[in-house]
Structure 1
């Protein structure tokens, strides 16, 4: 799949790690007890878990920013991005 978003480069994310992250986020978003209730306010927008997942999956400006941050933090911590997502989901009692 190709995304036509300025600044998006497929090579910046390991495809297997990206798929793992999307899989965890998809499960979290659709399994969240408040999947259609707001959980995040970002720059004046309120997102539900499902809307957040959509932003990440479609690599919108917001979603791409999240992925860049996640992958950069994982590199700094010398861990896999999917592990960071899994840990966050478990910490919130969702996993």
Structure 2
């Protein structure tokens, strides 16, 4: 049995693309560069950008946000929080 890995849901594929165009350093980063800097597979990043995939493990979410120069919660929502919000049980 594999342990539960916390997942984070991407806020917006458009936001990811925008932040890749202008990172915290002001320079763009390509899918290939982001993958190399984060250790996240290029296919995963590409799938996130196209909307084919909407979530990633916590470690990947944190790594991507760090390289892009933003707080993780700017780009990602923890799955548990996202599920509670959809169910109307989120604590304000």
Same fold (TM over 0.5): no
* Larger proportion of helix: 1
| Higher RCO, Cα 8 Å, sep 6+ | 2
* Larger proportion of strand: 2
